[in-house]
Amino acid sequence: MNLDQTRFPAEQLVSFIESALTAADTRKEDAAEIARHLVDANLTGHDSHGIGMLPAYIAHIQGGQVNITATDITRSDKGVIIQRDADSGWGKPAARRLIETAIEKCQQNGLAAATLGNVHHLGRIGAYGEQAAAAGLVSMHFVSVADHAPLVAPFRGSDARFGTNPVCISFPATNKRPSFLLDMATSKIALGKVRVAANKGEKVPPGSLINEHGMETEDPTGMSGFEMKGALLPLGRHKGYGLGFACELLAGVLSGAGTLQPGNPRKGGIQNRMLSILIAPDAFGDTDWMDEEVDAMSDYALASPPMDWDSPVLYPGDPERAWRGKRERDGVPLDEVTVEQLNNAANKAGSSERL
Ligand code: NAD
């Protein structure tokens, strides 16, 4: 398979996605926001959640797995708590609106807890952590995945029963340091990394995958899509399993939209559920002291002598900032296979724009 890469300016990719989504009847403002979010995932180094999602999104429009005319339904709005249902609408705009409401509530009350159910793919969860951090707030996001077959095995299990259920924790910037952003799947490696390894004919790291017989394997062949034969393994054995399970409870149950258990419908799309908890630091004390403490702890952690001098200790969120700097300057690399898939998807959507 030819994986030669060409670099594309971010703005070209944004325009390409926007045209394809609007050609497939997505509202213009939603298309613009989704396009920006996907390309932002590429810019921050998360290609698994970038423009490569477009063919699936177009297929979901055409298969009716996303409601392109949806409006949010507020199920509950009590004090600092908000429970919202996106009516199977687009993820990024619905989640941005939810976090906007949660920010307002948190700024008034010091705390807010918000859930979002029945929402199409939320993409890179770090975007919502960044939104809260930009407003000076701490945030935690627990996300579950629904509407398609499971991908991740429980610890000691031999087949898939969970999604890659991401967790994100953000802490606002200090005068010295940009925001802390931990944004991670609870599987040892992301599904997109299995796809890339399979395309390149490479192995995956030990302890990442099991095959259809429940045996550990480093060979990703045939496990590159949502129809994968085996399963991803949770990160950190029972700990990642427990964290992924917690996402089902916190996001799937508290949102009211349901978990990945097979009694709930699966229409072959990609849905998420999310619980977001926002905290105003000033409700907990002196923020000048907090900033000094964040800086002191970060300086201490990052001063640990690296085991490998070419790989220094990093602050969570720094890898994304480094990728952004590089890719905004040099463009987003896409291999020929992906470009062909994207052009086919645009064609199916009725857009004449090509990469
Ligand atoms: P990853 O492993 O690339 O990064 C995880 C986190 O670790 C990031 O916060 C990053 O800043 C930090 N990090 C990376 N290297 C570091 C280092 N050397 N030192 C310190 N910190 C470091 O992320 P992932 O688990 O592959 O997840 C990729 C993306 O996929 C995330 O944006 C996630 O939200 C998204 N995701 C979304 C869904 C969904 O259903 N919407 C599901 C799974 C994952």
Helices (H), 49-186: 54-63, 91-109, 126-134
| Cα–Cα distance measured from residue 120 to residue 107, given in angstroms and rounded to the nearest whole number | 28
Q: Is the CB of 117 under 6 A from ligand 1?
A: no
Average pLDDT over residues 185-210: 86
Average pLDDT over residues 262-279: 97
| Cα–Cα distance measured from residue 262 to residue 149, given in angstroms and rounded to the nearest whole number | 9
Candidates 42, 49, 131, 304: which one to mutate for ligand 1, based on the most atoms within 8 Å of Cβ?
49
Domain 1-63+331-355 and domain 68-187+236-283 have a common topology: no
pLDDT score recorded for residue 201? 80
Determine the atom of ligand 1 nearest the C-alpha atom of 45. Answer: 3
How remote is the CA of residue 257 from the centroid of ligand 1, in Å? 25
Q: Is the CB of 123 under 6 A from ligand 1?
A: yes
Average pLDDT over residues 299-311: 97
Residue type, 20: A
Report yes or no: 234 and 161 within 8 Å, Cβ to Cβ: no
pLDDT score recorded for residue 15? 98
How remote is the CA of residue 167 from the centroid of ligand 1, in Å? 9
From the list 182, 305, 226, the residue with the least C-alpha distance to 56 is: 226
> Residues of the chain with pLDDT > 70: what percent?
97
pLDDT score recorded for residue 5? 84
SS3 assignment, position 106: helix
| Cα–Cα distance measured from residue 51 to residue 35, given in angstroms and rounded to the nearest whole number | 8
Specify the CATH number of the domain 68-187+236-283. Answer: 3.30.1370.60
Residue-wise pLDDT for 307-352, tens only, equals 999 999 999 999 999 999 999 999 999 988 889 999 999 999 999 9
> Residues of the chain with pLDDT > 90: what percent?
90
Beta-bridge mates of residue 74: 84
Nearby residues of 276 by Cβ (< 8 Å), 6 or more positions away: 98, 99, 102, 112, 113, 114, 115, 116, 128, 132, 139, 140, 141
Q: Which CATH class is domain 1-63+331-355?
A: mainly alpha
Residue-wise pLDDT for 200-237, tens only, equals 788 999 999 999 899 999 998 877 665 568 899 999 99
Residue bearing the CA closest to ligand 1, atom 19: 314
pLDDT score recorded for residue 222? 74
Residue-wise pLDDT for 82-136, tens only, equals 999 999 999 999 999 999 999 999 999 999 999 999 999 999 999 999 999 999 9
Report yes or no: 16 and 342 within 8 Å, Cβ to Cβ: yes
Q: Is the CB of 46 under 6 A from ligand 1?
A: yes
| Cα–Cα distance measured from residue 215 to residue 203, given in angstroms and rounded to the nearest whole number | 15
Determine the atom of ligand 1 nearest the C-alpha atom of 192. Answer: 26
Q: Is the CB of 130 under 6 A from ligand 1?
A: no
Give the pTM: 0.96
Residue bearing the CA closest to ligand 1, atom 12: 316
Residue bearing the CA closest to ligand 1, atom 30: 124
Average pLDDT over residues 162-190: 97
Q: Is the CB of 49 under 6 A from ligand 1?
A: yes
Q: What share of the chain is helix, strand, coil (3-state, %, to 5)?
A: 40, 20, 40
Please check the confidence at residue 156 and state whether its pLDDT lies above 80: yes
Neighbours of 206 (CB within 10 A): 11
- DSSP E strands, the chain: 5-8, 73-78, 81-89, 111-120, 138-146, 167-171, 180-184, 209-210, 216-217, 231-232, 271-279, 332-335
Q: Is the CB of 185 under 6 A from ligand 1?
A: yes
How remote is the CA of residue 127 from the centroid of ligand 1, in Å? 11
DSSP code at position 234: B
Domain regions of the chain by residue span: 1-63+331-355, 68-187+236-283, 197-233
Nearby residues of 54 by Cβ (< 8 Å), 6 or more positions away: 17, 20, 21, 38, 342, 345, 346
pLDDT score recorded for residue 197? 79
Q: Is the CB of 181 under 6 A from ligand 1?
A: yes
